[in-house]
Amino acid sequence: VVHGCPEVHGTGQISFGKNLCLYRELYLETQAQGQILIADEVVLSHGVHLVSFTSIRIGTGTMIGEYTSLRDANHRVVTNGLNRHAGHTSAPIVIGTNVWIGRGVTILAGVTIGDNAVIGANAVVTKDIPANMLAVGIPARPIKLVGS
């Protein structure tokens, strides 16, 4: 189900699985060798941003809440010249299967989120989150097993 045409920028290296639910105002961007790989049964809610210079992989059955941002690259910072022209560093983002990512979450470069994890609303994920864990906060930290 597509509730509105996604905004696609860059190289267009994007793969979609089956039985997706894509809400309005999605922003999908791939640059350089970047690719976005979305498995089956994924939900991308209103206003989700995915930006890849390396790769973003989203596992089967994952739900991503409104206004969440996944970005696998950051600008380099320089003291001589403009940061805008300094290039990027990047590392893959991997989201496991059956992950629930709450509204307004930010997931940064190099992060892996394990299967069945839950990420609380507005968290900033800077490090890996193990499978079956609830993680919250800024920066996000695992606080308990899902369902316990």
Catalytically active residues, by annotation: 75
Q: Which residues contact 2 (CB under 8 A, 6 or more apart)?
A: 20, 22
**DSSP structure class, residue 79:** S
User: What b/e sequence results for 101-137 when a residue is b if at least 16 CB atoms lie within 10 Å of its CB, and e otherwise?
Assistant: bbebbbbbbbbbbbbbbbbbebbebeeebebbbbbbe
Cα radius of gyration (the chain): 15
Phi-psi region of 111 (alpha: psi -120 to 50; beta: other; left: phi over 0): beta
8-state DSSP, 84: G
